[in-house]
């Protein structure tokens, strides 16, 4: 092989390598998202941006998908927490519109328990019912779990985080989660976050991508998109986009 051909081959290889590296490490600031992605109307198994989570990171027998970058960041956080005797097992990741609809309508119809919801109350209006369900459960179309950036970990019972193990885990997360890109969107109510979903110490969001998705949500999603499920007519009256989607902790903005 002559020198010119060798040099040409090396040049092509270098250019191809640089292009591959640049594509793989492109700044997330360039990402934009569709309505379907923001509303959870996608199939993560068929989406190149998602990956199926390995069972070793999951609590129980369930299938969980996350965006690839989110999963990479989570595994680093998981390994770091484990050195401190804390297991950040995943309970939930991506949740489709249909999945959220099953949860919402299960509570709306009384088939799934909802704290504070009494169907025998004669004063229980649709608006009141929706408000109670919204304490802990999102309407389809407004859940951050639609994005593949948010995770539920360890335990979904608030009382768990009052135990010694729960306090240790939450304390570690408050101190360290930000080092891996994660923030807690639903903190305790205060002067900044005075309404919206109740505090969820188990819910953490990968900020580098979820922040971009929140901005696209504000740009693209209207109340006409929050539809197709029982009680959807309450969304506009309750201003769920303003009061729930955007009413999050300062760390996640």
pLDDT at 31: 83
Range of the domain at 226: 33-252
Order of strands across the sheet with 182-183?
Answer: 90-92, 150-153, 203-206, 182-183
Cβ neighbours of residue 146 closer than 8 Å, sequence gap 6 or more: 37, 38, 39, 40, 94, 95, 96, 97, 100
Residue 128 belongs to some domain of the structure: yes
Residue 3 inside a domain? The answer is no
The reply to whether 196 falls in a domain is yes
Tell whether 1 is covered by a domain.
no
pTM to 2 decimals?
0.87
Q: CATH number, domain at 107?
A: 3.30.1380.10
Confirm whether 21 is domain-assigned. Answer: no
Residue 67, SS3 per DSSP: strand
Tell me how many domains the chain contains: 1
In a domain, 20, yes or no: no
DSSP secondary structure letter of residue 232: T
pLDDT of residue 139: 98
Q: Identify whether 248 is part of a domain.
A: yes
**3-class DSSP state for residue 121?**
coil
Which tokens go with 30? 């360039």
pLDDT value of residue 27: 55
Pair 166, 155: CB distance under 8 Å? yes
Q: What's the confidence (pLDDT) of residue 19?
A: 35
Strands (E), the chain: 50-52, 65-67, 90-92, 150-153, 182-183, 203-206
> Which pLDDT score, from 0 to 100, does residue 229 have?
98
Under-50 pLDDT residues of the chain:
3-26
Amino acid 13: pLDDT: 41
pLDDT at residue 2 in the model: 55
Residue 28's pLDDT is 60
pLDDT at 192: 84
| Residue 27, domain member (yes or no) | no
């Amino acid at each position: 092989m002559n020198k010119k051909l060798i040099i040409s081959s090396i040049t092509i290889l270098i250019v191809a390598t640089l292009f591959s590296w640049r594509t793989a490490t492109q700044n997330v600031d360039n990402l934009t998202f569709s309505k379907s992605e923001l509303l959870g109307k996608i199939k993560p198994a068929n989406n190149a941006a998602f990956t199926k989570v390995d069972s070793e990171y999951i609590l129980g027998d369930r299938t969980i998908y996350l965006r690839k970058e989110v999963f990479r960041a989570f595994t680093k956080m998981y390994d770091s927490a484990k050195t401190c005797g804390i297991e950040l097992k995943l309970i939930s990741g991506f949740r489709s519109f249909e999945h959220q609809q099953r949860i919402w309508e299960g509570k709306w119809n009384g088939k799934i328990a909802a704290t504070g919801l009494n169907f025998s109350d004669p004063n229980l209006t649709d608006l009141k019912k929706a408000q109670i369900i919204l304490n802990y459960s999102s309407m389809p179309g407004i859940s951050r779990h639609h994005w593949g950036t948010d995770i539920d970990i360890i335990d979904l019972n608030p009382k768990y985080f009052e135990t010694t193990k729960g306090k240790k885990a939450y304390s570690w997360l408050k101190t360290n989660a930000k080092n891996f890109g994660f923030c807690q969107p639903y903190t305790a109510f205060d002067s900044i976050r005075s309404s919206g979903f109740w505090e969820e110490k188990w819910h953490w969001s990968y900020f580098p991508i979820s922040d971009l998705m929140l901005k696209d949500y504000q740009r693209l999603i209207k109340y006409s998109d929050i539809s197709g499920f029982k009680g959807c007519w309450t969304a506009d009256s309750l201003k769920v986009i303003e009061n729930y989607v955007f009413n999050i902790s300062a760390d996640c903005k």
